[in-house]
């Protein structure tokens, strides 16, 4: 006997394919492509669409089985991912399991996770109590200015372009607090799609040399499409990130048509596979295969199911014996399934396990009360409406919604008790994790967040009135972890509102979901939370601080200042709030007010190099150079590797006619390196301060050639202006060159002129 023996999983897939009914034309369209030469398939992008329960996910699994039998490497992505980075992580993991690792991508994803963790750890900032911490995000570094929109402040932090920061403006605070020593590390965190996607395509090209086909499946696309559309379109049909190998096939599956605004110019490339309910012949074929042959039973199943494939299969699974089982013409398909399931323990398990959003064996045992039912997990997994995903199981929405509705209406006390028990289960799981430190640091742990998400969902289901306030406050923690985490929390809130039919929870879920569909989802969500009156005073201060960061990223300085005023007015405002407001005041030319804020920030956090440096710059802008030097000496001593501190001290030394300025500027050039567009802008300032006109001009041309965002150009423009106020250096030509390149500069803080 020769050849490899099939695995148990392969045998199961073959068995299920042999019993698969209908969808022959769709399968054939896909198989026809797999039979073609892989060099240039005429069809490479398929879209399976149709209403819930029509069998999209089942067909996708059949297509995946067909692809694997044809020797393809496959990956399946669904709504468990919340952004393109998570999609790439999922694809890489599944390819590795099939012996086709995307090694370079895996390494870069690991680095991305680590850099993000470092950024989050550095940005932990203030606890909800309002007290400062040694890692508090510094104020004056509010070159948080995200998109480089705070000119003259923190010129070496690496300003962020809001159009390039895939993680979103809501993450700027965390990203800027971490000091990345290499431009590549900063790019990896600030623009992850630009860093990761070309590596994905190169790795796919290498894998495509060893395998006939690579097939990517994106299921539940009605949910993931808004998050993945632009990125996936660019990967498939443009060269924005590089070239896609010709032997990559992509299958999308969702309820509606593709977004015309995104895909309109490329719909001719899409093979459309719309699914309808079963024909009567197909439904009867499936019922016969399940052993249902009694004509009255068959007719009743056809009536109840509307020939929707999921419900036909579910009702057949109930194994109705004959006419006596169909005498009652009332009820829905799911209710009839429960009636036809005569085994009490099985019926109890099916109902109880509709409550969790997802199941593993431990959650299953926590969900069911019946001792006999606790041994039926294998049976439950075999039901047609129970779907497996990455070692966890969940109910199809059509069935789960009906079961939840019945339990909520008929057994409200049991409903509350079971959801409370499940909440405690996830709270216990969360507590068992080896998470040291404060809760703000625990939010960085993905497993901890997952348990917290499920715990919050079940508390909302058990007692919506009591749990809604804490759940809304949790959104601020989710916001600080980034756009993907925030979307998960809002999605959970919306689902809890739908599942409990709780009007207040549902209204908040819908309001926040609408906010996430706007061009600036993070700020819109914060605005909704602040307008809704559901946050307590400390939480409102946090929300204002976060929204201020987003305003800064969009160059909305007056709005940022208004939010920072409110944050500072809150009880026990920390150094971050004072320093951040001081930085904004500096850009508006209100230097005395800025100094007062930095004084308070230094009182709260005297050991912070960034706070000291911020106050030193404020002294410099007021012409108080000796006091500036005292602060900057301390700042450089606290952090000798900080290029901004070194730059500020060098400028003050030269303004006072003291030695050491030239050496410090040389050190600045060494610290910032040639780098990316942000570092090139920093080099322009450093060379201009020397002054080294030729080097500054050359660095400026490289800076402009790199296509910097307008905000970064504006920051450099006004940085040169404030430099000229301190030193007699020729910067007029440099500023004029910037004006030529970007006529509509944002800059405009009141100054004394210069240069």
Euclidean distance between CA atoms 271 and 252, whole angstroms: 10
Mean pLDDT of the chain: 81
Q: In the numeric block, which tokens belong to residue 248?
A: 């990559």
Residue 140 pLDDT exceeds 70: no
Higher pLDDT, 369 or 183: 369
| Residue-level pLDDT at 742 | 74
Residues 6+ apart with CB under 8 A from 638: 607, 608, 609, 612
**CA dihedral sign of residues 657, 659, 662, 666:** negative
| Residue-level pLDDT at 41 | 73
Residue 189 pLDDT exceeds 80: no
Residue holding tokens 């439904």?
283
pTM of the model: 0.72
Average pLDDT over residues 589-604: 93
Average pLDDT over residues 314-318: 75
| Residue-level pLDDT at 372 | 72
Lowest mean pLDDT among 90-99, 321-330, 719-728: 321-330
pLDDT tens digits, residue range 212-227?
A: 999 999 999 998 998 8
The CA–CA distances, whole Å, from 388 to 181, 317, 359, 383, 635 equal: 42, 18, 9, 11, 55
| Residue-level pLDDT at 341 | 74
Domains in the chain, CATH or no CATH each: 8-104+194-274 (3.40.50.300), 411-535 (no CATH), 537-741 (1.25.40.10)
pLDDT tens digits, residue range 578-588?
A: 888 998 898 88
| Residue-level pLDDT at 740 | 84
The CA–CA distances, whole Å, from 26 to 13, 49, 251 equal: 18, 11, 12
Neighbours of 142 (CB within 10 A): 32
| Residue-level pLDDT at 630 | 96
pLDDT tens digits, residue range 442-470?
A: 888 889 999 999 999 999 999 999 999 99
Average pLDDT over residues 390-417: 89
**CA dihedral sign of residues 480, 486, 488, 490:** positive
Euclidean distance between CA atoms 728 and 519, whole angstroms: 43
Query: With pLDDT > 90 as the criterion, what percentage of the chain qualifies?
Result: 39
């Amino acid at each position: 006997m020769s050849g490899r023996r099939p695995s148990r999983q392969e045998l199961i897939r073959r068995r299920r394919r042999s019993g698969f009914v209908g969808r022959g034309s769709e399968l054939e369209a896909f198989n026809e492509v797999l039979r073609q030469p892989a060099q240039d398939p005429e069809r490479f992008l398929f879209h399976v669409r149709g209403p819930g329960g029509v069998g999209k996910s089942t067909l996708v699994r059949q297509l995946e089985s067909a692809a694997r039998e044809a020797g393809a490497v496959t990956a399946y992505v669904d709504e468990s991912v919340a952004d393109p980075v998570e999609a790439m992580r999922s694809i890489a993991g599944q390819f590795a399991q099939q012996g086709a690792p995307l090694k370079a991508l895996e390494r870069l994803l690991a680095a991305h996770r680590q850099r993000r963790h470092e950024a989050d750890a550095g940005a932990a900032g203030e606890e909800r109590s309002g007290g400062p911490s040694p890692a508090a995000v510094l104020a004056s570094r509010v070159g948080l200015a995200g998109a480089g929109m705070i000119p003259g402040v923190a010129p070496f932090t690496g300003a962020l372009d809001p159009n390039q920061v895939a993680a979103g403006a809501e993450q700027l605070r965390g990203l800027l607090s971490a000091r990345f020593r290499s431009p590549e590390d900063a790019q990896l965190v600030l623009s992850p799609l630009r860093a990761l996607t070309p590596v994905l395509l190169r790795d796919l090209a290498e894998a495509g040399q060893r395998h006939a086909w690579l097939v990517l499946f994106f299921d539940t696309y009605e949910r993931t499409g808004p998050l993945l559309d632009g990125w996936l379109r660019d990967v498939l049909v443009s060269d924005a990130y590089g070239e896609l190998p010709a032997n990559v096939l992509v299958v999308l599956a969702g309820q509606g048509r593709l977004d015309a605004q995104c895909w309109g110019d490329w719909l001719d490339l899409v093979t459309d596979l719309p699914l309808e309910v079963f024909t009567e012949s197909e439904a009867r074929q499936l019922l016969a295969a399940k052993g249902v042959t009694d004509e009255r039973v068959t007719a009743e199943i056809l009536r109840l199911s509307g020939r929707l494939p999921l419900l036909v299969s579910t009702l057949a699974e109930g194994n109705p014996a004959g006419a006596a089982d169909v005498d009652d013409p009332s009820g829905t398909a799911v209710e009839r399934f429960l009636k036809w399931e005569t085994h009490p323990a099985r019926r109890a398990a099916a109902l109880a396990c509709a409550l969790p959003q997802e199941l593993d064996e431990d959650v299953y045992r926590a969900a069911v009360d019946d001792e006999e039912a606790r041994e039926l997990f294998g049976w439950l997994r075999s039901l047609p409406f129970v779907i497996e995903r990455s070692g966890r199981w969940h109910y199809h929405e059509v069935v789960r919604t009906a079961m939840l509705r019945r339990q909520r209406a008929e057994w409200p006390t049991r409903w509350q008790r079971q959801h409370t028990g499940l909440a405690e289960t996830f709270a216990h799981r969360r507590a068992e994790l080896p998470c040291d430190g404060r809760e703000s640091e625990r939010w960085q742990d993905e497993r901890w967040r997952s348990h917290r998400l499920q715990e919050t969902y079940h508390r909302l289901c058990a007692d919506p009135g009591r749990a809604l306030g804490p759940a809304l406050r949790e959104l601020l923690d989710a916001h600080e972890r980034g756009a993907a985490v925030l979307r998960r929390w809002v999605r959970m809130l919306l689902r809890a509102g739908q599942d409990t039919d709780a009007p207040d929870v549902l209204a908040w879920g819908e309001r926040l979901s609408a906010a996430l569909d706007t061009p600036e989802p993070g700020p819109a969500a914060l605005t909704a939370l602040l307008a809704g009156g559901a946050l307590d005073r400390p939480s409102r201060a946090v929300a204002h601080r976060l929204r201020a960061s987003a305003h800064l990223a969009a160059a909305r300085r007056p709005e940022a200042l208004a939010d920072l005023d409110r944050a500072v007015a809150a009880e026990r405002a920390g150094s971050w709030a004072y320093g951040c407001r001081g930085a904004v005041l500096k850009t508006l030319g209100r230097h005395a007010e800025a100094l007062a804020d930095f004084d308070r920030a230094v009182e709260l956090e005297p050991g912070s190099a960034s706070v000291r440096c911020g106050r030193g710059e404020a002294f410099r802008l007021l012409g108080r150079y000796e006091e500036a030097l005292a602060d900057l000496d301390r700042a450089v001593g606290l952090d000798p590797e900080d290029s901004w501190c070194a730059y500020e001290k060098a400028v003050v030394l030269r303004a006072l006619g003291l030695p050491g300025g030239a050496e410090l500027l040389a050190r600045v050039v060494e610290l910032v390196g040639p780098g990316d567009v942000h570092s090139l802008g920093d080099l322009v300032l450093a060379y201009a301060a020397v002054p080294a006109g030729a080097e500054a001009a050359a660095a400026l041309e490289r800076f402009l050639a790199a296509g910097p965002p307008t905000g970064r150009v504006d920051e450099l423009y006004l940085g040169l202006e404030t430099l000229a106020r301190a030193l007699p250096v020729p910067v007029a030509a440099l500023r004029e060159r910037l004006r030529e390149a970007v006529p509509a500069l944002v800059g405009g803080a009141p100054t004394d002129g210069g240069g």
